[in-house]
Amino acid sequence: MVLIGAIAVAVAGLLVDVNHEGALFVRGLPGLPLPVICPLRRFFDVRCPTCGVTRSMVHFLQGRPAESFAVHRLGWLVLGAVLFQLPYRTWCLAGRPELPDRPRLPQFLMAGFLLLLVLNWFVP
């Protein structure tokens, strides 16, 4: 399921683009922006720590790293984690043994990422 999700994110990132107002739209249909799905932004117009990650990933996937960093400084990190799933999950499905995993490594990585998100939110 994770492999399918990672493929879907990568393909979706190539099928959409960001307009001059910052809204996502399907390529070829710039007049029909996709709806905002974040409830905080949609209903309260509040920017959360992850606001802009999707747009940042779309810019990065389409070869615009400067625009990606301008929208959200950590979008590349999220995209890297998603794209890492492609070879890793394929490796696991091919019957290869799982890569060595430290018991607490995923928890430390997630805690570090959450800390980076909060710091990114507060630092202009």
Q: What is the pLDDT of residues 7-49, one digit of tens each?
A: 999 999 999 999 988 889 999 898 889 988 888 888 888 888 8
**First-to-final CA distance of the chain:** 36
User: How many alpha carbons fall within 13 Å on the CB side of residue 62?
Assistant: 16
Q: Which structural domain, as residue segments, surrounds residue 108? A: 2-122
Q: Is the pLDDT reported for residue 50 higher than 90?
A: no
Question: Which of 51, 90, 92 is closest to 73 using CA atoms?
Answer: 51
Q: What is the pLDDT of residues 58-114, one digit of tens each?
A: 999 999 999 999 999 999 999 999 998 898 888 888 887 666 666 677 778 888 888
Q: What is the pTM of this model?
A: 0.81
How many independent structural domains does the chain possess? 1
pLDDT at site 11: 93
